[in-house]
Amino acid sequence: MKITAKEAEHAAKLAHIKIDSKQSEKLICELEVIARYADMLKDVDTSGVEPTFHGIVLQNVLRKDVVTNNYNRDDLLKNAPDSHDGCFVVPTVVE
């Protein structure tokens, strides 16, 4: 299966990763590997088979509705690239 540069660039855009034309070529190869894998799987009869999403069977693991977070705000902000007045700083999102 052939992947076009446009498809590769679209996927990169969705993933929020900027790529240049040189990277785009390598990326096409990688996407073609994934596409080949998907082609291979066509040979497996999965009619009537339910998908498995997890290693063990677990459903609806719930906890009591109580606040348990006890992290300190200053600790949380220590690893932030930019913060101000106890908040994360980002470029303007809405004008």
Binding site for another protein (CB under 8 A): 7-8, 11-12, 14-19, 23, 26-27, 29-31, 33-34, 36-38, 40-44, 46, 49-56, 58, 61, 63, 71-72, 75-76, 78-82, 88, 90-93
Q: Distance (Å, rounded) from C-alpha 52 to C-alpha 48?
A: 13
State in angstroms the smallest separation of the CB of 47 from another protein. 9
Q: State in angstroms the smallest separation of the CB of 37 from another protein.
A: 4
Q: Which whole-number Å values give the CA distances from 62 to 53, 54, 59, 68, in the listed order?
A: 18, 17, 9, 14
Q: What does the block give as tokens for 1? A: 């299966």
